[in-house]
């Protein structure tokens, strides 16, 4: 959408083909009908102050609220205020991208081999592994240190340790982009599943399936913004797009150096904020709880809507937990979430079920048009996002968060930046508006 806005303003004729019946991709905002508040099933937090998000929101005077509140941790069955962040930061700061790349797990084993006699450092290692697998939705055995370091540097530049939300969730940003597309006279055709792209220099043919039947479109250039996992699957699988001829080997190799993270999230709305009355430690309750962190095998991370005092809490199941939950029935996922929350808060599943009023979830791994949450770099991924985003024969251009080259993979602002980068590349190749004609 961001690329199309820029190209439309430049006077090019273009059309967006969207497989889903909605726009936004892995931004997926619903509204709770009772509380009339946004429920995010995809992207939720604005990480730091990236201009790609803040500029359009502030231009439209969209209120933005910083996330705050108390962070609680569950250790050995006990809840207490989190006190490990500084130790984990010190551990992560030991990563170095000037030496040979290695996985995060190999880094820990090499740099901190004997921590059994140091309980504090051993626990810091455990929380650090949880951070990489949770925040990045990554397998710590695969995630590369070079990629992690680049991401940490990018976060520092935009105050990425702070998190924000806007009034109507990311729907505010999608609506702004929709309005900008309309102003730029860009059309969007939803429920149009692209199945094949035939390409050569100066002409690309897109074969798609729409509600009214088969569709064939030709244009001098096509911008591909498919999620990484969709690009990686074989033709014939649900959601796959076949390229004829096949993409160059360098691009395939770049894809293979990246991985799609896995996450299942569930949003629970209760009758009231029952946790405000729970007092895990003397004279302190969970009334201002923002995040609840644990090593639980199902939903290790939870967060509330603080600073809003709403009876809504979100469960986050990354990596192995997502693998165990993906493809399971809604009933199964809800039961596991209530079991985990009950275990962490010292309440019975029956008690939580009586208080529960609504549940929201979306299985991104089973969604054929995403097949995962967001990308991360494996060992040796240096240069892979650049190669993945590199144009092919000035006919195929590529964008999407996996192609971001600034260290902001996996973020909304990284996706927007990649779209604008691709739009600039296309604009450099054309001097007049390309034609787009409907074949059948």
pLDDT of 360-412, one tens digit each? 999 999 999 999 999 999 999 999 999 999 999 999 999 999 999 999 999 99
Mean residue pLDDT across the chain: 94
Query: Could you tell me which of 321, 273, 331 has the C-alpha nearest to residue 300?
Result: 321
In the predicted structure, residue 239 carries a pLDDT above the cut 60 = yes
Cα gap 96→139, rounded to integer Å: 19
What letter would DSSP give residue 295?
A: -
Q: Say what the pLDDT of residue 84 is.
A: 85
Task: Give yes or no for residue 122 having a pLDDT over 90.
Answer: no
- Per-residue pLDDT for 172 more than 60? yes
Strands in 331-386 per DSSP E: 356-363, 375-377
Scored b (16 or more CB within 10 A) or e, 230-255 reads: bbbeeeeeebbbebeeebeeebeebb
pLDDT classification of 121: cutoffs 50, 70, 90: confident
Phi, psi of 403 (to 5 degrees): -95, 0
Residue range 266-296, pLDDT digits in tens: 999 999 999 999 999 888 999 999 999 999 9
Helices (H), 164-227: 171-183
Residues 179-198: pLDDT tens digits? 999 999 999 999 999 999 99
pLDDT of residue 299: 97
pLDDT tens for residues 74-100? 988 899 999 888 889 999 999 999 999
Does the pLDDT of residue 431 top 90, yes or no?
Answer: no
pLDDT at 54 over 70: yes
* Backbone dihedral region for residue 326 (phi beyond 0: left; psi -120 to 50: alpha; all else: beta): beta
Q: Taking a C-beta distance cutoff of 8 angstroms, is the pair 228, 400 a contact?
A: yes
CA atoms of 242 and 91, how far apart (whole Å): 43
Specify the range with the lowest mean pLDDT, choosing from 223-232, 279-288, 298-307, 331-340.
279-288
Res. 164: pLDDT tops 60: yes
pLDDT of residue 288: 97
Fold of 2-63+165-260+369-431: FAD/NAD(P)-binding domain (3.50.50)
pLDDT score, position 353:
97
Which of 53-57, 79-83, 302-306, 395-399 has the lowest average pLDDT?
79-83
Delimit the CATH 3.50.50.60 region(s) of the chain: 2-63+165-260+369-431
Looking at residue 434, its pLDDT comes to: 46
pLDDT surpassing 90 at residue 333: yes
Is pLDDT above 90 for 72? yes
């Amino acid at each position: 959408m961001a690329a199309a806005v820029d190209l439309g303003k430049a006077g090019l004729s273009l059309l967006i083909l969207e497989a889903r019946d909605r726009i936004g991709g892995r931004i997926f905002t619903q509204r709770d009908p009772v509380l009339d508040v946004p429920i995010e099933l995809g992207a939720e937090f604005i990480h730091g102050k990236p201009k790609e998000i803040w500029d359009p929101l502030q231009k439209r005077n969209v209120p933005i609220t910083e996330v705050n509140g108390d962070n609680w941790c569950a250790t050995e069955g006990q809840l207490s205020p989190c006190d490990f962040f500084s130790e984990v930061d010190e551990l992560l700061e030991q990563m170095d991208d000037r030496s040979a790349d290695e996985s995060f797990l190999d880094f820990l084993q090499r740099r901190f081999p004997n921590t059994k006699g140091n309980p504090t450092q051993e626990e810091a290692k455990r929380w650090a592994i949880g951070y990489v697998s949770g925040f990045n939705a990554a397998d710590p055995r695969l995630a590369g240190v070079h990629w992690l370091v680049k991401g940490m540097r990018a976060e520092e530049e935009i105050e990425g340790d702070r998190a924000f939300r806007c009034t109507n969730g990311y729907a505010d940003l999608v609506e702004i982009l929709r309005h900008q597309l309309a102003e730029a006279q860009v059309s969007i055709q939803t429920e149009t599943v692209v199945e094949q792209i035939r390409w050569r220099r100066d002409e690309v043919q897109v074969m798609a399936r729409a509600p009214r039947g088969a569709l064939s479109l030709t244009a001098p250039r096509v911008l591909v913004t498919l999620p990484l996992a969709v690009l990686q699957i074989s033709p014939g699988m649900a959601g796959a797009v076949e390229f004829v001829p096949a993409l160059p080997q360098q691009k395939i190799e770049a894809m293979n150096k990246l991985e799609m993270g896995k996450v299942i999230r569930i949003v629970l709305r209760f009758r009231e904020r029952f946790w405000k009355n729970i007092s895990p430690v003397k004279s302190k309750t969970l009334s201002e709880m923002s995040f609840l962190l644990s090593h639980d095998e199902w939903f290790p991370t939870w967060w509330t809507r603080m600073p809003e005092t709403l009876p809504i809490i979100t469960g986050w199941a990354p990596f192995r937990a997502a693998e165990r939950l993906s493809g399971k029935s809604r009933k199964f996922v809800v039961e596991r979430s209530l079991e985990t929350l009950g275990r962490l808060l010292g309440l019975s599943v029956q008690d939580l079920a009586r208080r529960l009023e609504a549940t929201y979830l979306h299985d991104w791994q089973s969604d054929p048009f995403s097949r995962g949450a967001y990308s991360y770099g494996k060992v040796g991924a240096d240069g892979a996002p650049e190669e993945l985003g590199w144009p092919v024969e000035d006919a195929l251009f590529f964008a999407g968060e996996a192609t971001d080259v600034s260290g902001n993979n996996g973020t909304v602002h990284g996706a927007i930046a990649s779209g604008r980068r691709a739009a600039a590349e296309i604009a450099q190749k054309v001097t007049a508006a390309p034609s787009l004609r409907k074949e059948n």
